[in-house]
Structure 1
Amino acid sequence: MNFIDSQQAFMAHIRDPKLHPKPDGIEDRRMAIYRDLFFNNISGFISSGFPVLKTLYSDEDWSKLVRRFFAEHDCQSPYFLDIAGEFIAYLSNDYELQPSDPIFMLELAHYEWIELDVSITQTDPQECAITDQLTEAALYLSSTARNLSYQFAVQHISVDFQPQHPSEQPHYFVVYRDTHDDVQFLATNAMTALLLSIIDSTPSIQLPALIAQVAQHAPQFTPEQLFQGATATLSAMAELGVIVTKNHA
């Protein structure tokens, strides 16, 4: 067995010792040190990143969940700060819900992870506050803001509140980093979510074009009503730094 094969056998055993036997010639006591070290590090990061989700499991079931992630998911980033994001990617793409998993598992995990995601995102240096008239600005969703909706009331989930069915209406949030670099959560509504979604998908859009797109989704409102509502909402979002413009000089 060459060196690369030895490394692969070593890591396969570390990740899933029940499926992959330890490489020959290595004392099990030594291998146990590596097994515990690697798994406990991963488990610690996952547990600290998803504290509410963890409280909904028994210790045994939580350990099984983290073990499955550790054994089955090939992380695309070598950085510890990205482990929580890799966990979200695993739950979203490869994981099948188990009997011990709450139905809202993925949404709650995403809600818990988004705070870390926003806190470590690099600010686009071209972004600047909207100081001119809103009607003339090219609008962008800030690189440190996220426009979100969930089918479950994730903000209220706890050991004592575990909904078994989605809510009748979505729950909308903006998560953003304020001027003090603190992460803030703001409950919004369907119209605000629509405005921010269009800005996010159409960078540099201006207010008249934005209102024209909104009118296609909300024909029950007059252009004057849409203008007044959008101006008030976007002015508040601009003050918070959720929407910005860019300096391309």
Structure 2
Amino acid sequence: MAVYTELLFNNICGFVDTCFPVCRAILGEVRWRRLIRRFYRDWPLDTPWFREIPHQLVDYLTTAQIRQPLPAWLADLAHYEWAELAVDVMATSSPAHDPDGDLLHHPVALNPALLNLAYTWPVHRIGPDYRPRKAQPTYLAVYRDANDAVQFTQINAVTGRLLDLLTAMPTSGDAAIRQIAAELQHPAPEQLLGYGRALLEDLRRQGIILGTLA
């Protein structure tokens, strides 16, 4: 039984080590193995799929009371590293769309393989040579491009809110931007529309927006 237990633990290590290389490098091998041992012991792994184990580790870091001193930003960093796997394995199909459609005046078609993420810490900068001392709100779009490669783009809070609105229901860029202007109590909504048009086109160029719904 001890041999079987160790084999299973080593299999779990293989999956989490691959998914979280930065977390592992920062903690060091001893602290990382101690953390994974506690995860293996204390967390109810209720999935039969090995590829879902990294997400279970993210849930563990986010919700469990872990009796081990860990950096305050570790859960955010782990989620950021997991996001690449999540987008890579998303089973999606693109909606019928016009790639050249007018994004302001027709419902926008988003890339379905997309995560719109907000973090308390600058996770995209954290590494062995940089460990933040102060929180810094960070917004990122993680998506799969036309070549099935996972891409990361840093965005701001307004762009994140725009993507939230476009994800919630089919709507035109104009309607979404006007709603943001109202939420911000912007004194000149028409000026924001000019900025919004350029933003929508940039998101289309990157592949975060596919075009307009057909």
TM-score by length of 1: 0.78
Q: Give the letter for the 2:189 counterpart.
A: P
The percent of aligned pairs where both chains have the same amino acid is: 34
Are the equivalent residues in 1 in contact too, given 2:110–2:209 (CA < 8 A)? Answer: yes
Are the equivalent residues in 2 in contact too, given 1:127–1:142 (CA < 8 A)? Answer: no
Q: 2:206 & 2:175 partners in 1: Cα distance?
A: 22
* TM-superposed deviation, 1:140: 4.5
* TM-superposed deviation, 1:87: 1.1
Greater displacement, 179-188 / 130-139: 130-139
* TM-superposed deviation, 1:221: 4.4
Q: Aligned residue for 1:134?
A: 103
Q: Aligned residue for 1:81?
A: 51
> How large is the RMSD of aligned CA atoms in angstroms?
1.9
Greater C-alpha Rg? 1
Match of 2:75 among 90, 106, 127: 106
Q: Aligned residue for 2:200?
A: 234
Q: Aligned residue for 1:181?
A: 148
Structure 2, unpaired ranges of 5+: none
Match of 1:67 among 37, 53, 66: 37
- Larger RCO of the pair (alpha carbons < 8 Å, separation 6+): 2
Q: 1:183 & 1:212 partners in 2: Cα distance?
A: 31
* TM-superposed deviation, 1:171: 1.7
Match of 2:179 among 213, 225, 228: 213
Q: Aligned residue for 2:6?
A: 36
* Change over 3 Å in CA distance of 1:87–1:138 after alignment to 2: same
Once the two structures are superposed, residues 81-108 of structure 1 have per-residue CA deviations (whole angstroms, 9 ceiling, x without a partner) of 1111111122222243621x11100111
Structure 1, unpaired ranges of 5+: 1-30
Structure 1 segments (4+ residues) deviating >4 Å: none
2:14 maps to 1:48: no
Q: Give the letter for the 2:12 counterpart.
A: I
Q: Give the letter for the 1:230 counterpart.
A: G
Secondary structure in structure 2 of the residue aligned to 1:187: strand
Q: Give the letter for the 2:126 counterpart.
A: I
Are the equivalent residues in 2 in contact too, given 1:211–1:227 (CA < 8 A)? Answer: yes
Aligned residues: 213
